[in-house]
Amino acid sequence: MTTLKLLDGKLRLPVICSPMFIVSYPALVAAQCKAGVVGSFPALNARDEGDLDRWLTGLKAELAQFQAANPDRPVAPFAVNQIVNPSNTRLQRDLEICMRHQVPMTITSMRAPNEVVQEIHRYGGTIIHDVINFRHAMKALESGVDGLILVAHGAGGHAGRINPIALVAEIRRHYDGPLALSGAISTGSGILAAQAMGADYAYMGTRFIATQEANATPEYKQGILDGMAADVVYTDLFSGVHANYLRSSIVAAGLDPDNLARPDDAQAGKLVFKPKAKAWKDIWGVGQGIGTISDIPDVASLVDRLEAEYRAAKERLLQL
């Protein structure tokens, strides 16, 4: 185990909750951190000028107050996700706000974070980067990140194509630093499985969409309850990057998930993407872990359950 120093003694379970566009807002993040797992949100969720600054001020105050009132409980640090990509024209502005607030942990995605790493390290922040393959992992390590997130096959939202067992093993041959694994982890035994494979943390997204605190419509949450792994569609049609979406939301948008076509396929007589349906808002991102999700608890109850499942899975293994 190689852990991230800032998380030592601060977690109830080795879990980092992933940032989710449109879903992860401060209410969810605060509930996750209070429950003893890292909470995170994408900076891009803070839409209006001033939102990010306000959110960070509020989160820091709420968590500090909770920790003071509950000195014996592990309260996890929070993380902010930055999309490092030329299309993110807000990156520098958002980074400056986060640096001013000394955000404990930064999660970068898309491109190797290079110059961002130095800026985060300058104030003592921790930065981890998400990757879908070996080549991207090595590039991120060259840029000096403190840890990696491996986004394996079946993860919600933008996801890789590589089996998690293969991906972790491949990376572990060259890297023994902090490692989080993501992709369809929805249970306590899944968290333990990530560790058994060689990861230090499980990185969980979709399971937390079906919680009281998540900013998702009742229909989205119900869609997760109704869906199975086979109802997850992997396509680059909606955002330009391959991602996993819930089949029923594609159907509801008037599209045929088995015959998805690009606008220039229109002449071939196929169904075409209707711009009215918006990726993430109408076409819902989910991972293949939905088949085990059957309720919408609050975050505290969910983490209680995950911990009980995690302990039970450990005991089962000891009896082998």
Ligand X SMILES: Cc1cc2nc3c(=O)[nH]c(=O)nc-3n(C[C@H](O)[C@H](O)[C@H](O)COP(=O)(O)O)c2cc1C
What lies within 8 Å, CB to CB, of 258 at 6+ separation is: none
Residue type, 311: R
Radius of gyration of the chain (CA): 19
Nearest to ligand X of 113, 285 (CB atom): 285
Run of H or E including 82: strand 78-84
| Cβ at position 64, least distance to ligand X in Å | 26
Evaluate whether 207 touches 289 at the Cβ level (below 8 Å): yes
Nearest to ligand X of 178, 285 (CB atom): 285
Nearest to ligand X of 21, 310 (CB atom): 21
| Cβ at position 28, least distance to ligand X in Å | 12
What is the DSSP secondary-structure string of 116-164? HHHHHHHTT-EEEEEESSHHHHHHHHHTT-SEEEEE-BT-SEE-BSS-H
| Cβ at position 211, least distance to ligand X in Å | 13
Please provide residue 144's backbone torsions phi and psi, each rounded to the nearest 5 degrees.
95, 20
Nearest to ligand X of 21, 238 (CB atom): 21
Contact set with ligand X (CB under 6 A): 18-21, 23, 42, 81, 109, 130, 151, 155-158, 182-185, 203-206, 285-287, 289
Nearest to ligand X of 63, 214 (CB atom): 214
Nearest to ligand X of 136, 158 (CB atom): 158
Cα 245 to Cα 248: distance, rounded to the nearest angstrom: 9
| Cβ at position 290, least distance to ligand X in Å | 8
Nearest to ligand X of 41, 273 (CB atom): 41
Cα 178 to Cα 156: distance, rounded to the nearest angstrom: 22
Give bridge partners of residue 128 from the DSSP assignment. 107, 147
Cα 183 to Cα 130: distance, rounded to the nearest angstrom: 12
| Cβ at position 149, least distance to ligand X in Å | 7
| Cβ at position 157, least distance to ligand X in Å | 3
How many other β-carbons are positioned within 10 Å of the β-carbon of residue 270?
12
| Cβ at position 318, least distance to ligand X in Å | 27
